[in-house]
Amino acid sequence: MKKPRIVFTLVLALVGGLQLSAESPAPPNIVFFLVDDMGWQDTSVPFLYGKDGKPVITPLNQRYRTPAMETLAEAGMKFTNAYAMSVCTPSRVAWMTGQNSVRHRVTNWTHPEGIETTQNNVDSHRSPTDWGRMGLPEDLTTLPSLLQAAGYRTIHAGKAHFGASEYARDPLNVGFDINIAGSEIGHPGSYSGDYGQNSNRPVPGMEAYYNTGIHLTDANTIEVRKAIGRAVHENKPFFAYVAHYAVHAPFQLDRRFAKNYPGLRGQLLAYATLIEGMDQSLGDILTHLHGLGVADNTLIIFMSDNGGDAPERDVNQSNAPLRHKKASKYEGGSRVPMIAAWAEPNPENPNQQRIPINPASRTDDIVAIFDIFPTLANVAGIEAPSEVDGHDLTPYLQGKPGSHRPQELLIHYPHDHRSQYFTTLRQGPWKLIHSHAPRSFELYNLDDDISESNNLADAEPDRVRSMAERILEIIEASGGQWPVLQEDGREDPLRVPNRQ
C-alpha cells in the first residue's frame, strides 16, 4: 500500500520530529472531535446571538442536553459562523487536506463501492463526469501524515468515510497510526448488537463489544480512551480524531438517556439520545484527560461535518431558526457548531501562554472546516503546505482583534440531493445562492434574516452580479467542476445576470 505523500521533509526534520531539549515544553496534544450530522441547534449551548450581544435560547437549545459542550464553551471560544460542506465526505477530505471541496473535487458523499451517489432526479442536469467519487486523492498531503511525521501518535476513532479507493478506505493509509472502527462506510448498520456486521454497513474491529449492550458511541469512546492512555504512558504527544458515527441515521435509541426526554417519542427521542450520548463521550474524554494529568496540555476542537439531520416532519424545524437541513443550499445545510478550548485552562502552561483562549469567548467571523488543517498545524508547531485554502485560526484563539481570514466562503455542490446543483457565496452578512436547475439566484442578508425568508435578489441586482462574478473567479481559480447538461454532456457554468 502506498503511504501518504509527506512534504516539507527538511522543515519536519528541523523541528526534530519533536525531539525536544530538557527545557522545551511538551508538545500540545490535540483532540479533534467531529460529530456526524449534528446541527447548529442540536445542543443546549446557544450559538445564536441577538444584536444586543446576548445569547438567544431557542426551543431546540431547551430540548437537548449537552453539559460537556457547555463545559467546553465555558472554558474556551465559540465560533458562531462556522461552516462545513453540506454533506460528509467533502468535509472530511476538506479538513484532512486544508482544501475547499471545489478544489479537491470530492464534492459529494462517496459510496463504499465508488459508484455514483447523486440522485440525478433532474431532467436537465447530472453530476460532473469525473468528480472525485473514489474519495481522498492519494497525491494530497494530509494533516495526520504531517503530525505523524512530526512525532505525534495519530489515533482515528469512529467514522472515516474518506472514500472508496483502496487508499482512502483505510485510515492507516492516510496518516493514522491507530484505526478504531473506521472504514469506507458512511453510517453504521446498527448502533447496538453486532453494529451491523450482518448488514451492508458493518462497523469493523468492534467484535469485543458484540451483544454486550454497549452502545457504539460508548464502545468507540472506551477504545479511544485506551489509545490516548497508551500514548501518554509512552510519553508520546497524541492527535486523537474522535469521529463518532452518531448522530447519523439510523436513529436508534441510546437507552442510557431515554428517561431524560419524557416529551419525545419515536425517532425524535432516539435522535435526542444520540446527541446526549455523543456529549457523554466528550465528557468522558475530558475526565480521562484530567485523570491522565494532560488536560492542561490538550487542545480540543469540537465541530460537525455538515448541517443537522434531525427527523422533524417539517425540515425547516430541524435546525430552526436556520432554514432546511443537511445537504441543503440554505444555512441549515452547512452552518455547524464549533468550539475550541484547552481541556483544562492553565495560564502557567507554556502552550497555553502561546495560544491563550479566553474563557466563555466567541467570534462571529466566518470560518470553515478546511481552516482546521493550518490551525492545528500551527498548534503543533509544524508548517502547512502552500496549496491549502484554509486559514490559521489561532489569532482568534489568542484574542487578537480583527478578522484573521477573508470574510468570504464558497460552498459548491454540483450534484442532486436535497438541493439540486447549487453554489453559495458568503461575503460578510450577504449570501448569494445560485441554483443551476432552474437557473436562479437568491440573495439574503443573514444579519437581518437568518432564516433566509426574504429574497433580495431583485432588489439588489448589482450585488447579485458582483457576487456571481466572484463565484466564477473562485471556481475557475480552484479548477472546480460544474454540473453537466443531460442532453449533450457539456458543462453548465453559472451565467452572470446583466453582465456588462
- Does 3.40.720.10 match the CATH number of domain 25-405? yes
What is the β-pairing status of strands 361-368 and 335-336?
unpaired
Q: What is the largest CA-CA distance in the chain?
A: 68
The CA distance from 202 to 214, in Å, is: 16
SS3 63: helix
Neighbours of 119 (CB within 10 A): 13
> What pLDDT, in 10s, does the model give residues 235-283?
999 999 999 999 999 999 999 999 999 999 999 999 999 999 999 999 9
The pLDDT value given to residue 20: 44
The pLDDT value given to residue 119: 77
User: Which residues have C-beta within 8 Å of that of residue 490, sequence separation ≥ 6?
Assistant: 484
Percent of all residues in the chain with a pLDDT value above 90, rounded to a whole number: 90
Q: Could you tell me which of 370, 481, 328, 389 has the C-alpha nearest to residue 318?
A: 328
Residue 180 class from Cβ within 10 Å (0-12 exposed, 13-18 middle, 19+ buried)?
buried
Neighbours of 120 (CB within 10 A): 15
Q: Where in the chain is the domain with CATH 3.30.1120.10?
A: 410-485
C-alpha cell at 173: 493509509
- Map grid coordinates 451517489 to a residue: 117
CB-CB contact of 304 with 38 (8 Å): yes
Kindly tell me if the per-residue pLDDT of 35 is higher than 90. Answer: yes
Angle between helices 88-97 and 372-380 (to 10 degrees): 40
What is the β-pairing status of strands 420-427 and 430-435?
antiparallel
CB-CB contact of 417 with 116 (8 Å): no
Kindly tell me if the per-residue pLDDT of 99 is higher than 70. Answer: yes
Kindly tell me if the per-residue pLDDT of 11 is higher than 70. Answer: no
**Residues linked to residue 445 through DSSP beta bridges, in sequence order:** 430
Q: How far is CA 452 from CA 37, 314, 427, 455, 464, in A?
A: 21, 16, 15, 7, 16
Q: Could you tell me which of 78, 80, 105 has the C-alpha nearest to residue 90?
A: 105
Stretch 322-327: mean pLDDT? 96
> What pLDDT, in 10s, does the model give residues 428-462?
999 999 999 889 999 999 999 999 999 999 999 99
Kindly tell me if the per-residue pLDDT of 59 is higher than 90. Answer: yes
Q: How far is CA 246 from CA 39, 144, 310, 318, in A?
A: 12, 22, 12, 16
> What pLDDT, in 10s, does the model give residues 378-413?
999 999 888 899 999 999 999 999 999 999 999 999
CA-CA-CA-CA dihedral for 128, 247, 376, 446, to nearest 10: 70
Stretch 303-314: mean pLDDT? 97
The pLDDT value given to residue 387: 86
Q: In sequence order, what DSSP letters do the residues of 395-445 get, joined into one string? A: HHHTT-SS-SS-SEEEEEEEEESSSEEEEEEEETTEEEEEETTTTEEEEEE
The pLDDT value given to residue 88: 97
The pLDDT value given to residue 121: 82
The pLDDT value given to residue 339: 99
- Does 3.30.1120.10 match the CATH number of domain 410-485? yes
Q: Where in the chain is the domain with CATH 3.40.720.10?
A: 25-405
CB-CB contact of 217 with 246 (8 Å): yes
Stretch 97-106: mean pLDDT? 98
Q: How far is CA 474 from CA 176, 331, 458, in A?
A: 32, 20, 24
pLDDT band at 342 (very low <50, low <70, confident <90, very high): very high
The CA distance from 393 to 106, in Å, is: 24
Kindly tell me if the per-residue pLDDT of 120 is higher than 80. Answer: no
The pLDDT value given to residue 417: 86
Identity at 240, one-letter amino acid code? A
What is the β-pairing status of strands 408-416 and 420-427?
antiparallel
* Backbone φ and ψ of 96, nearest 5°: -65, -35
Cβ-count burial 442-478 (b if 16+ within 10 Å, e if not): bbbbbeebbbbeeebbeebeebbbebbebbbebbeeb
The pLDDT value given to residue 366: 98
